[in-house]
């Protein structure tokens, strides 16, 4: 499950009020190993007040950001060659490194040659 962070809501509100020159646009995907609590199958509830991943191991540009009606879809992928350890958290960050969306999930180890694809949908019926 993913949540919009408080930072994202504040920056979006500032843009809507004319107090910020640009909207908060996801530019990077960050992944980490700090999203579980009691074990690899026990993800922590995502915290909207989080400003960074608990244990970031990789940050890379998103593959695409596109809008369809009132929904924005953001996609990125991580390859097994890029990370070590079992991933259990992910976030979308803007060009300034502000965490906009945060998600936790069951720990997933990637073998070389493996790919973990992320797709976030913001707006519509789910956010």
Does residue 120 have a pLDDT over 80? yes
pLDDT value for 127: 47
Domain that holds residue 43: 2-126
Q: Which helix (H) or strand (E) holds 9?
A: helix 6-16
Q: What is the pLDDT of residues 60-111, one digit of tens each?
A: 999 999 998 888 899 999 999 999 889 999 999 999 999 999 999 999 999 9
State the Cα–Cα distance between residues 90 and 34, nearest whole angstrom. 9
Instruction: Work out the mean pLDDT of the chain and round it to a whole number.
Output: 92
Three-state secondary structure string covering 27-55: CEEEEECCCECCCCCCECCCCCCCCCCCC
State the Cα–Cα distance between residues 83 and 37, nearest whole angstrom. 20
Reported pTM: 0.91
How many domains does the chain contain in total?
1
pLDDT value for 124: 66
């Amino acid at each position: 499950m993913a949540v919009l962070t408080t930072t994202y809501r504040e920056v979006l509100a500032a843009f809507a009020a004319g107090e910020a020159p640009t909207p908060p646009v996801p530019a990077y995907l960050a992944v980490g190993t700090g999203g579980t609590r009691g074990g690899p199958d026990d993800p922590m509830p995502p915290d909207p007040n989080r400003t960074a991943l608990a244990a970031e191991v990789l940050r890379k540009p998103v593959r695409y950001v596109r809008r369809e009606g009132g929904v924005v879809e953001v996609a990125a992928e991580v390859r097994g060659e890029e990370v070590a350890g079992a991933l259990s958290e992910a976030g979308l960050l803007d060009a300034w490194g502000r965490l906009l969306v945060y998600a936790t999930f069951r720990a997933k180890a990637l073998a070389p040659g493996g790919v973990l694809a992320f797709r976030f949908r913001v707006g519509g019926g789910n956010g």
